[in-house]
Amino acid sequence: MLEALKGQQRGRLITLLGVIVLSFDTLLVRLIDSSEWTLIFWRGFLPAVMLFTVQWFTDRKVITQHLLRPSLLTLITAGLFSASTICFVLSLDNTQVASTLVITNTAPLFTAVIGFFFLKEKLDKATVLAIIIAVGGIGLVFGYHPTVDELRGDSLALVSAIAIAVYLVALRKTQGQLGSVYIILAGVFTSIISLSVGAKPFALDMRQAIEMFLLGGVVIPLSFYLIAYGPRYLPAAETSLILLLEVLFGPLLVWLIVGETPTSNVLLGSAVVVLTLSGLFAWQWRKQLKSSQ
């Protein structure tokens, strides 16, 4: 029991550290200020290279068996992750950071709905209520009389959330065994797509190149690695609860360093969504704790 508690404490700390690292993602996107497709290229390519290197030295059988000979499901799952990455960056390029983060973090609710239809997973009343309230919160985010660009950005964030949700369902169906393969292949897809629509990977000055390496070579792969550690020791609901902190940390960093202040409607909508998801995940966590006693 003591060892289990130590594992949970370690899981919480490492997951929280992963969220803190990930919170620098949106800040670096704002600071780099390159063309959107050049940013998307490096945001896909660099994490893929880093994870491929780690996978090669830790368990290269995964590469030879699944990366070099991927199944159709693997290709589809990687494609969905690539779509979520592209839509996330394009969203940030068109709307406020807070809007993008709060909308994309509704992915667990879409996951619950998709899992209900395709995996026959139970959809309890609390989740249904949370979905209804969260939809209202998203409506507030969309309802602040946005410009055409902001409306496009919010819509892309919604597409990103749905793509992430389908990706998570596929990941659940395969029991998460090929997580690194999906991200590596997604990076390849993202790089090819961005090059085909005009990305210029080497059109960066020295400052941008350094910030791009920090984003794609450090922040994204390191945060994904740390966040993947949590579910080994924590209930899924508690992990989701910790991940919600990105919605708070990300906009806060952008506000402190770049000076981007969310509108009142976005703040209100974000608060509705975050409080709703927090309540749902806390309730699920408590339920899991009771069932384990």
**Of 131-140, 180-189, 259-268, 280-289, highest mean pLDDT:** 180-189
pLDDT tens digits, one per residue of 252-285: 899 999 999 888 888 888 889 889 988 888 888 8
Q: Are 112 and 276 in contact (CB under 8 A)?
A: no
The phi and psi torsions of 59 (rounded to 5 degrees) equal: -160, 85
Task: Check residue 35 and give its pLDDT.
Answer: 92
pLDDT tens digits, one per residue of 87-116: 999 999 999 898 999 899 888 888 888 888
4, two tokens: 């289990």
Q: What is the mean pLDDT of the chain?
A: 86
Where are the domains positioned within the chain?
Answer: 8-292
Task: Check residue 176 and give its pLDDT.
Answer: 59
Residue 168 and residue 241: Cα distance in Å, rounded?
A: 16
Looking at the predicted structure, is the pLDDT value of residue 2 above 50?
A: no
* Environment class of 192 (CB within 10 Å of its CB; exposed 0-12, middle 13-18, buried 19+): middle
The phi and psi torsions of 139 (rounded to 5 degrees) equal: -60, -40
The phi and psi torsions of 100 (rounded to 5 degrees) equal: -60, -45
Looking at the predicted structure, is the pLDDT value of residue 3 above 60?
A: no
Task: Check residue 32 and give its pLDDT.
Answer: 93
Looking at the predicted structure, is the pLDDT value of residue 47 above 70?
A: yes
| % of residues, the chain, pLDDT over 90 | 38
